[in-house]
Structure 1
Amino acid sequence: MAYDPQNVFAKIIRGELPCFKLYEDESTLSFMDIMPQADGHALVIPKEQAETLFDLSESGAEACIRTVRKVAKAVQKAMGSEGVLVMQVNGAAAGQTVPHFHFHIIPSSIKALMRPHASQLEDSEKLQEFVRRIVAALEDERVS
């Protein structure tokens, strides 16, 4: 299947759609999931065009993992979570809802998967508070 440059994440990367940004570097972008499975649910995406893990370059995969580690640590600290679920699925049959490679970072346990994904839009003020907390945790990590 060919990559669709009109998918929602591609539009976010190009600045055509807004997001609740947590972190960005030359290769990746992290932002809040607006239909979260738990408070603090974040996403990490590569800036390259890749629908699944199998389409992603090795350098893109490495960049994503670096960002996932950084953001997951900040999410866990900011949300006061004992555990963090990191999830990545490939293809609609596996549950992928946006055809652009991405990781989910969910500060919870596997039980968070019991809540349907993409079922309820979160309040934007609540998301903005999570952004503030997670970005502060990211900044703390840079200082220490």
Structure 2
Amino acid sequence: MRIHPDIWYRLSPRWRGLCWGVSSGLMLFGVTGVQLHIQQQQLTTQQAQHEQGAAINARLWTAVRKLFPEDDVPASMATRPFSPLEFDTGEMRMVRWQPVSAGGELVVDAVWAQIPTLFATLARRDVAVGRFTIQPEQQKLRITLQLERQNAG
């Protein structure tokens, strides 16, 4: 629909300003709606990828547990409860332990060769690692672990 220029110029400045404001607002509303729609699609895609990744991670952990069944663990080691003081040895030093109701945060300085032992010990103590980070710290590595008790129910 074309508006003849004479009609536009016959409007008072107040009406022209009002028309311009309404049309600008409608365009802004439309652009914002399109942006929100695109963001919602991206969020849905990311959530689907996250769920797919979590499912793959669960399958991989199941496969790893099948490779190393708990029957191979001596009974004396499997029955010992978790203690953060176990990680204060010669090549491994506990920096911080911050407990919470169903786990906690453990920070350890260790050499690279001790990291597999650290995870194996945690697995034997019925403690799951929710997430971890490894950062260089002088001559050793600083490992920050978010721990969760497996049978916290």
TM-score of the superposition, structure 1-length normalised?
0.31
Please give the TM-score of this superposition, normalised by the length of structure 2: 0.29
Task: Flag the structure with higher helix content.
Answer: 2
Report which of the two has the higher share of strand. Answer: 2
More relative contact order, 1 or 2 (CA 8 Å, 6+ apart):
1
**Structure (1 or 2) with the larger CA radius of gyration:** 2
